Amino acid sequence: MMKTKIKFIDLGTHYKSIRGEILEKFDEISSRGDYILTEELEKFEKNISNYCGTKYAAGVGNCIATAGAIVASGARPVFADVRNDYNIDPEIIEKTITKKTKAIIPVHLTGRSADMTKIMEIAQKRGLAVIEDAAQSIGAGYKNKRVGSFGIAGCFSLHPLKNLHAHGDGGLITTSDDAFYEKLLKLRNHGLKNRDECELWGYNSRLDAIQAAIGNIKMKYIDKWAQRRREIASMYKESLAEFAEMPEDKEYEEPVYHTFVIQSDNRDELRRYLAERGIETKIHYPIPIHLQQPAKALGYKKGDFPAAEAQAKKILSLPIYPELSNKQVEEVINGVKSFYIGTHRNNSLF
């Protein structure tokens, strides 16, 4: 197999593009010794809340995976199938709601918003909270609002693979609810209401000042980077629509393309073909969550979520990140084209 020429993600090149700014800020914070719950974090939280359109944002130590967070809280996750955009299908949500249901957690997957108009209508009608998992979608727009501003809370990841990331794990929670925000501040810091008094059982889950500082640096570029992702997505869609199923943007949404996911009946062959030519791809995700080992206790089985299961067999994520050159994008395009033209000219493509 050829050595990788085009990485699925290139974090080293990303770092080098702003290395000087990061090193300068790292030295400044280290020289002061201001590491935990400092002005740098407050600045980052303000930048995020302004950007997302909420009153508040709280920096935390990480962003827990959606179903795992539900289980950790003592609740039971209930799943619903998805639409073609890989986001939860609002038409199915209603059928899953019972008297025990407390909240709806839409996941804005691949950098595209779920259908928040219908989700909020259902939640308001049924008296349910909405908690947005926006880990993959910071900056994504839906009807002139940004994700993370619809429900009582929006949850964001700063993991290195995300569009806005720190130097390791980190997370953010946005909200416009005063009481919820005040509780968040206590929960992330051992439940302390001041230096000496603990009000409730909490966590050790704070976002470090250096991580926040890196976030502040990257906030200057976030829209530029998102626009580059959209440019690459447009190049893929324009060139590859006849060969594989492409994501289709709706007129009222503004995706940020955390991943660019195509669908192909020949997914595994295509992936091997591209790898042989030095082009790295990923699958997000090959095993639906209801078929994962921890979910067995929930009682789901194969066939319960046909849309998600069908997608899992066909989806393939192509490289998409701001540092990709047009030449590299063209190499990916030519690789996909040559696979189909050379080996599947007469086959049904998708």
pLDDT digits (tens, 9 = 90+) for 247-272: 999 999 999 999 999 999 999 999 99
Out of 3.30.360.10, 3.40.50.880, 3.40.50.300, 3.90.1150.10, which CATH number does the structure's domain 222-343 have? Answer: 3.90.1150.10
**Mean per-residue pLDDT of the chain:** 96
Q: CA–CA distance from 56 to each of 40, 48, 89, 205, 321 (Å)?
A: 15, 8, 29, 17, 29
CA angle (60, 64, 66) in 5-degree steps: 135
Query: Do 234 and 257 touch, CB atoms closer than 8 A?
Result: no
Taking only the tens place, the pLDDT of each residue in 44-62 is 999 999 999 999 999 999 9
Taking only the tens place, the pLDDT of each residue in 240-250 is 999 999 999 99
The dihedral region occupied by 111, where left means phi > 0, alpha psi between -120 and 50, and beta the remainder, is left
Amino acid at 13: T
Percent of the chain with pLDDT over 70: 97
Please give the residue that has the higher pLDDT: either 346 or 36: 36
Query: Do 92 and 80 touch, CB atoms closer than 8 A?
Result: yes
User: Predicted confidence band at 3 (pLDDT cuts at 50, 70, 90)?
Assistant: confident
| HSE-up of residue 24 (Cα within 13 Å, Cβ side) | 6
The pLDDT of residue 107 is above 60: yes
What is the structure's pLDDT at 344?
A: 55
Q: Find residue 107's DSSP bridge partners.
A: 133
What is the structure's pLDDT at 350?
A: 45
pTM of the shown model: 0.95
Tokens of 172: 């953010």
User: Predicted confidence band at 342 (pLDDT cuts at 50, 70, 90)?
Assistant: confident
Where are the domains positioned within the chain?
11-75+87-219, 222-343
Query: Do 129 and 152 touch, CB atoms closer than 8 A?
Result: yes
Can you tell me the mean pLDDT for 84-104? 97
Q: Is 199 helix (H, G, I), strand (E, B) or coil?
A: coil
Instruction: State the fold for domain 11-75+87-219.
Output: Aspartate Aminotransferase; domain 2 (3.40.640)
The pLDDT of residue 348 is above 60: no
What is the structure's pLDDT at 1?
A: 60
The pLDDT of residue 301 is above 90: yes
What is the structure's pLDDT at 196?
A: 95
Can you tell me the mean pLDDT for 13-19? 97
What is the structure's pLDDT at 4?
A: 80
Helix ranges, the chain (H): 11-17, 19-32, 39-52, 66-72, 90-96, 116-126, 178-187, 209-219, 222-240, 267-276, 306-312, 326-343
What is the structure's pLDDT at 349?
A: 46
Identify the weakest region by mean pLDDT among 117-121, 166-170, 292-296, 341-345: 341-345
What is the structure's pLDDT at 343?
A: 66
Rg (the chain; Cα; Å)? 21
Q: Find residue 157's DSSP bridge partners.
A: 171
Cα gap 52→58, rounded to integer Å? 12
